[in-house]
């Protein structure tokens, strides 16, 4: 396949970026999108051009590091995949592909397509945990049975990979899906209920301080989420937040 790539180039956080166009030929449909980017970078280096910076690590869809906005969609046109698992067979010969970084005030660009998502980490510092020390003497793992249905839903929420596609996709750059996944995971487990009140209040406060937008229930995040995290989690967080606010 022969393709034309329109790629966002930005030297650093302060610089003003712009699109550059690069042709690329002999792309195999079996390549992953990032492998195609590797090939392009090898060519750029050979030509003496600075290669395109982009975040990636595990390349099997679980680390959440890759973060490209491809043809107007987070992680590109395929569903339930991260950029690293998007394959070139999803494109046609002759296509022009626009590649941009995830854009949000809370995710400043580091360079080219790499962005700084430490806002997510800070939201987690505010309450994304259960306060239990490592003693080796906590009670036996089977001491509290957990209804399978709840355990499964907690797991589904916990599969969030923190990639930020929800923020990138949302027209409001809202982080509700991400934050609600964590709040839900703990809210559904007896171990997490103990500090549920403080958790949801603190995490939402931090989320707001980071400058994410507000949720308007467009549902775009759920569609673009590579892990299929459900909007149900947002509703659950809203409930948790309301009852926590009332409790104080």
Partner 1 sequence: MITSSIARKVAMALSGLFLVVFLGQHFTINFTSVFSENTFNELSHFMGTNPVVQFIFQPILMFGVVFHFVMGFVLEIQNRSARAGQYGTYKGSANASWMSRNMILTGAVVLSFLGLHLYDFWIPEMNYKYVEFIPEDPTRYYDELVHKFHSPIRVGLYAVSFGFLALHLVHGFGSSFQSMGLNNKYTPAIKTFTKIFAIAIPTGFVFIALFHHLKAL
Partner 2 sequence: MARLDSKTPEGPLSEKWTQHKSNINLVSPANKRLIDVIVVGTGLAGASASATLAELGYNVKTFCFQDSPRRAHSIAAQGGINAAKNYQGDGDSTYRLFYDTIKGGDYRSREANVHRLAEVSANIIDQCVAQGVPFARDYGGLLDNRSFGGVLVSRTFYAKGQTGQQLLLGAYSAMNRQIGRGKIKMYNRHEMMDLVKVDGKARGIIARNLVTGKLERHGAHAVVIASGGYGNVFFLSTNAMGSNVSASWKIHRKGAYFANPCFTQIHPTCIPVSGDHQSKLTLMSESLRNDGRIWVPKKLDDAQAIREGRLKPTELAEENRDYYLERRYPAFGNLVPRDVASRAAKERCDAGYGVNKTGEAVYLDFASAIIRYGKEEAHVKGLDENDATLVKKLGQEVVRAKYGNLFQMYEKIVDQNPYETPMMIYPAVHYTMGGVWVDYNLMTSIPGCYAIGEANFSDHGANRLGASALMQGLADGYFVLPYTIGDYLSDDIRTGPIATDTTEFEEAEKEVHNRLEAFINNKGTHTVDYYHKKLGKIMWNKCGMSRNGKELKEAMAEIKELREDFYKNVKVPGRLNEFNEQLAKAERVADFLELGELFAKDALERTESCGGHFREESQTPEGEALRDDKNFTFVSAWEHQGAPAKAKLHKEALNYEEIEVKTRSYK
Other Cβ atoms less than 10 A from the Cβ of 114: the count is: 20
Tell me the C-alpha distance between 162 and 174, whole Å.
Answer: 13
Nearer to partner 1, 63 or 223 (CB): 223
129 binds partner 2 (CB under 8 A): yes
Tell me the C-alpha distance between 188 and 184, whole Å.
Answer: 6
DSSP state of 207: H
- Those residues with Cβ within 8 angstroms of residue 51's Cβ, 6 or more apart along the chain or in another chain: 41, 44, 45
Nearer to partner 1, 38 or 73 (CB): 73
Shortest reach from residue 208's CB to partner 1, in Å = 5
Q: Which of 23, 29, 211, 228 binds partner 1 (CB under 8 A)?
A: 211
Enumerate residues 192-231 that contact partner 2 by CB under 8 A: 192
Binding-residue pattern over the window 87 to 106 for partner 2, x denoting contact by CB under 8 A: x-x-----------------
188 binds partner 1 (CB under 8 A): no
Tell me the C-alpha distance between 114 and 186, whole Å.
Answer: 30
Task: Please tell me the count of residues contacting partner 1 according to CB under 8 A.
Answer: 50
Find out whether 113 and 53 touch, Cβ atoms under 8 Å: yes
Which pairing describes strands 96-101 and 3-9: parallel, antiparallel, or unpaired?
Answer: parallel
Residue 171's binding partner out of partner 1, partner 2, none, with CB under 5 to 8 Å set by partner kind: partner 1
Q: Which of 5, 74, 76, 85 binds partner 2 (CB under 8 A)?
A: 85
The per-residue b/e assignment along 207-241, b for 16 or more CB within 10 angstroms, e otherwise, is beebebbebeeeebbbbbbbbebbbebbebbbebb
Nearest to 54 by CA among 67, 73, 36, 70: 67
Find out whether 17 and 27 touch, Cβ atoms under 8 Å: no
19 binds partner 2 (CB under 8 A): no
Q: Which of 69, 102, 120, 178 binds partner 2 (CB under 8 A)?
A: 120
3 binds partner 2 (CB under 8 A): no
Binding part of the chain for partner 2, among 56-64, 93-101, 171-179, 208-216 by CB under 8 A, reads 56-64
Enumerate residues 4-43 that contact partner 1 by CB under 8 A: 6, 8, 19
Task: Please tell me the count of residues contacting partner 2 according to CB under 8 A.
Answer: 80
Q: Which residues would be at the binding site for partner 1 (CB under 8 A)?
A: 6, 8, 19, 69, 71-73, 77, 98, 100, 103-106, 108-109, 169, 171-174, 176, 204-205, 207-208, 211-220, 223-224, 231-232, 234-242, 245
């Amino acid at each position: 396949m022969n393709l034309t790539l329109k790629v966002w180039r930005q030297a650093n956080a302060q610089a003003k970026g712009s699109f550059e166009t690069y042709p690329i030929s002999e792309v195999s449909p079996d390549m992953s999108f990032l492998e195609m980017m590797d090939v392009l970078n090898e060519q750029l280096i050979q030509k003496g051009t600075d290669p395109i910076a982009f975040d990636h690590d595990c390349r099997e869809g679980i680390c959440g590091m890759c973060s490209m906005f491809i043809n107007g969609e987070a992680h590109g046109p395929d569903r339930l995949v991260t950029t690293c698992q998007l394959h070139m067979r999803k494109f046609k010969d002759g296509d022009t592909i626009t590649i941009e970084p995830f854009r949000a005030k809370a995710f400043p660009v580091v360079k080219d397509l790499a962005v700084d998502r430490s806002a997510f980490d800070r939201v987690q510092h505010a309450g994304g945990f259960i306060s239990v020390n490592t003693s080796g003497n906590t009670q036996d793992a089977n001491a509290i049975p957990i209804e399978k249905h709840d355990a499964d839903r907690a797991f589904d929420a916990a599969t969030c990979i923190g990639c930020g596609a929800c923020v990138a996709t949302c027209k409001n750059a809202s982080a509700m899906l991400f934050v609600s996944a964590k709040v839900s995971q703990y809210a559904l487990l007896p171990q997490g209920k103990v500090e549920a009140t403080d958790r949801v209040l603190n995490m939402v406060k931090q989320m707001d301080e980071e400058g994410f937008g507000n949720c308007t229930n467009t549902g775009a995040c759920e569609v673009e989420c590579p892990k299929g995290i459900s909007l149900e989690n947002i509703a659950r967080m809203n409930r948790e937040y309301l009852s926590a606010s009332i409790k104080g």
